Chains A and B, each alone.
Chain A
Amino acid sequence: MTFKYGIATTVAATLMATTAMAEIKVGFIGSLSSDTGLSTLRGAEMAIDELNAAGGVMGEQITLVTADTGEDVTEGVKAYEYLAESEEVDFIISGSIDDVSLGWLPRMQEFQIPTLDTWTSYIGIIDMVVEDPDLMAPYFMNIASDEALATLYINFGADVLKAKMGWESVVILAEDTAFGEAITGLVTDALGPVAGIEVKEIINYDIGTVDFAPIFSKAQASGADFIYQVSSVNSQVISSQYVKLQVPMAMTGVNVSALGLEYWEDTGGAGGGISTLSPIPSVGFELDPVSAQFVTDYQARYDSRPKMPHFNGFNAYHGLKQAMAAAAEAGGFGDVKAWNAAMLKQDLKLEKDGKLWLRYGFWQHGEVEEVTQRTYPQNALFDLTAPYEDAQPSMVVIQWKEDGSVGVVYPFEYANTEFEVPSWVK
């Protein structure tokens, strides 16, 4: 009896071990309590469920484990180590903010785990890929990087802010983060020479700032025509105080809180007039049928915020499927170079009304983008030139109106409303 029990136990343990081995383990790294992190997590969950329902990848089911960064750099490093060492994941999908990604990047270089960043857009990481492609082979970023975001935004400056609104000078209010520094640098370098808009002053502020009244006063004192804000953390505070104080200058730029449908509720309605650049797809952006179906399924499955996934949710959904397709081609995630080569070939084209609307692919090594005259290996494909026939633009500019509606104001090919200043700005 004991002998039989022993055999049964051994067989069961072997079966369980075999089953455990026949899994592809995906690790999510990001904040489990922010809209940003949850967008990526949920996009990944939906992609995994669909892949598993279709039989998995290479006959193996995909499992998902999570590691919370709390949007903190140190916690982010610990989270990556946990996924690599304790969970021994095959692939990592990231919804980390820029500073956190920069924190865990050395761990990725050390562990060489294929990793897809869906939110971080820091151009410095793409520079690392350019400088050391072998070390950075596991890394892909499927959001257009800062350089591309800023470049198209400069076009918005020239086409709308300068040509249409007649503004000639700007004061920049930027948060003190890697993201803030990168965007500020790029915008400052290009606004003058390309858009003909003079940068009067740059005001940096701490991300813990909750009282913007004296900062807005300082901005007014600069004599600039409008404010350019760069805010990715606690962004609803600066925008709601702008509205509550009725600052008599127009304000545009980057405001991450305005990327979600919850923005209106979070600001208690004190958010009208705020415009922000947004990676695609964004709120107010018309969706192709595939993306629209993703949102429908998402909303049927999740009843908590974010009500609509941010752009990184779409990136996670399509990107994870592409990572798995690349693994299937490369025979798994173990051979990073083979996976890298297969990942670079991924190319998903989504059309709307017969026009290329969204494209999920990657820039190749050595491929030069014609406007910025630089390379973006392993970064999401984008097109910086109208009419955007090769891919979608790197971003759109959306604007929340004072009645709570939201729409795209730029590029004109994707616009469904017009840019306007708040009613209190003369």
Chain B
Amino acid sequence: MMQIIIQGLLLSGLYALIAMGFMLIFSIGRTLNLAYGAYIMVGGYIYFWLSQQIGMPKFVGFLGAVVVGAIMGLLKHRLIVKPLKGDPVAVEISTLILAVIMQSAVVLLFGDASKILLPIIPGVVTISGAQVTYNILAATVMSWVIILALYAFIRGTHTGRAMQAVSMDQKGAAISGVDPDRINMITWAISGGLGAAGGVFFASYTQLSPTMWVAPVIISVAIVIVGGIGSIIGTLIVAHIIGFLEIIVVAVWAPELRGVFTMLLIIGVLIMRPQGLFGREEH
């Protein structure tokens, strides 16, 4: 039982970290950014290249991944999202295509064989019989730090409040003097950086492979749909619901059914409460 609680908490922290950037774009940019997984994949590979292949310090590798992720977010906004403004279907399709292109680029540069990313913080501690790596502990701590910082940023700064305003009513925000374009750019950059940071931890927890972007996107979509638009708290809570659900299914039922209940949860929420468990109603 204790093992389930510990592993559930740790996995949920990782999921919350991964989903946070996706939630930002979905809430503020109003875009289902299916290329979000590409930030995660590229983040993992940049870290691998800098720290494991070139031999630079891990901190530099992590920073490099976050910077590249943020730049990717900015470029995507400038080159794809902005020109296609007003056509959400075109944006979704083009972001999906972009993710596939990024996958091919990774195959070209790193090959298609899976690679194992060494832990950012090596070592293991046994807690109540559960083997817990310092790496996943660090990811959980990092997740909480980022979530709290993001919460404080959105609630306590002018830019954060502007982001909230844009997420609620873009035209109204513009009338009030907020530049939605600038806010969107900032949001895409933050989202890219968060995705890349999550990617480093996700890859070091699992593996690096050119197809690794798919699973985090599914997890992120699930968390955001179930949590609802614009809710950091909702994202956090649903990340824990899904994380625990997966761990419980594996531990007491069958590992092969791990993702099934998450999918059922999405369908259930879409039918019963389309705005998500913690989202606001859209008018």
Q: In the complex, what residues of B have CB within 8 A of residue A266's CB?
A: 113-116
Asked if A217 and B130 sit within 8 Å, CB to CB, the answer is yes
Q: Roughly how many angstroms separate A208 CA and B117 CA in the complex, as a whole number?
A: 17
Binary CB contact string for chain A from 243 to 273 against chain B (1 if under 8 A, 0 otherwise) = 0111110000000000000100011111000
Return the chain A residue nearest B250 by Cβ. A214
User: What is the CA–CA distance of A281 and B191 in the complex, to the nearest angstrom?
Assistant: 50
Give residues of chain B (110-157) contacting chain A, Cβ–Cβ below 8 Å.
112-119, 124, 126, 129-131, 133, 135-136
Main secondary structure of the interface of B (DSSP, over half): mixed
A363 within 8 A of B: no
- Shortest CB–CB separation between residue B48 and chain A, in angstroms? 9
Query: Are B207 and A240 within 8 A (Cβ)?
Result: yes
Is A221 positioned at the interface, with any CB of B under 8 Å from its CB? yes
Contacts between chains A and B (CB distance < 8 A), count: 90
Contact B113 A211 (CB under 8 A): no
Whether a CB of chain B sits under 8 angstroms from the CB of A218 is yes
Indicate which residue in B116, B133, B250, B251 contacts A267 across the interface (CB closer than 8 Å): B116
Question: Which of A176, A214, A268 lies in contact with B7, CB distance below 8 A?
Answer: A214
CA distance A271 to B272 in the complex (A): 47
Q: What's the Cα separation between A205 and B126 when bound, in Å? A: 24
| Cα-based distance from A176 to B254 in the complex (angstroms) | 12
Q: Which residues of B contact A270 (CB under 8 A)?
A: 116, 118
Q: Chain B residues with Cβ under 8 A from A247's Cβ?
A: 131
Q: Most chain-A CB neighbours within 10 Å: which of B116, B124, B130, B131? A: B116
Q: Please, which residues of chain A bring their CB within 8 A of the CB of B113?
A: 34-35, 262, 266, 305
- Residues B198-249 near A (CB distance < 8 A): 205-207, 212, 215, 246-247
Which residues of chain A have C-beta atoms less than 8 A from B4's C-beta? 214, 217
**Complexed CA–CA distance, A216 and B247 (Å):** 12
Given the known interface contacts A33-B112, A236-B116, A266-B116, the answer about A209 and B255 at a Cβ–Cβ threshold of 8 Å is: yes
Give Cα A293–Cα B135 distance, bound, in whole angstroms: 45
Q: List the B side residues contacting A210 at CB < 8 Å.
A: 206-207, 212, 215
Separation of A204 and B257 alpha carbons in the complex (Å): 10
Give B50 Cβ to nearest chain A Cβ, in Å.
14
Interface residues of A in 216-251 (CB under 8 A from B): 216-218, 220-221, 234, 236-237, 240-241, 244-248
Q: Which B residues are in CB contact (< 8 Å) with A182? A: none
Question: A206 near B: Cβ within 8 Å?
Answer: yes
**Which residues of chain A have C-beta atoms less than 8 A from B258's C-beta?**
206, 209
Question: Would you mind naming 8 contact pairs between A and B with Cβ atoms under 8 Å apart?
Answer: A33-B112, A209-B255, A210-B207, A213-B10, A217-B251, A218-B250, A241-B206, A244-B124
Which residues of A come within 8 Å of B, CB atoms? 33-35, 176, 203-206, 208-211, 213-218, 220-221, 234, 236-237, 240-241, 244-248, 262, 266-270, 305, 424
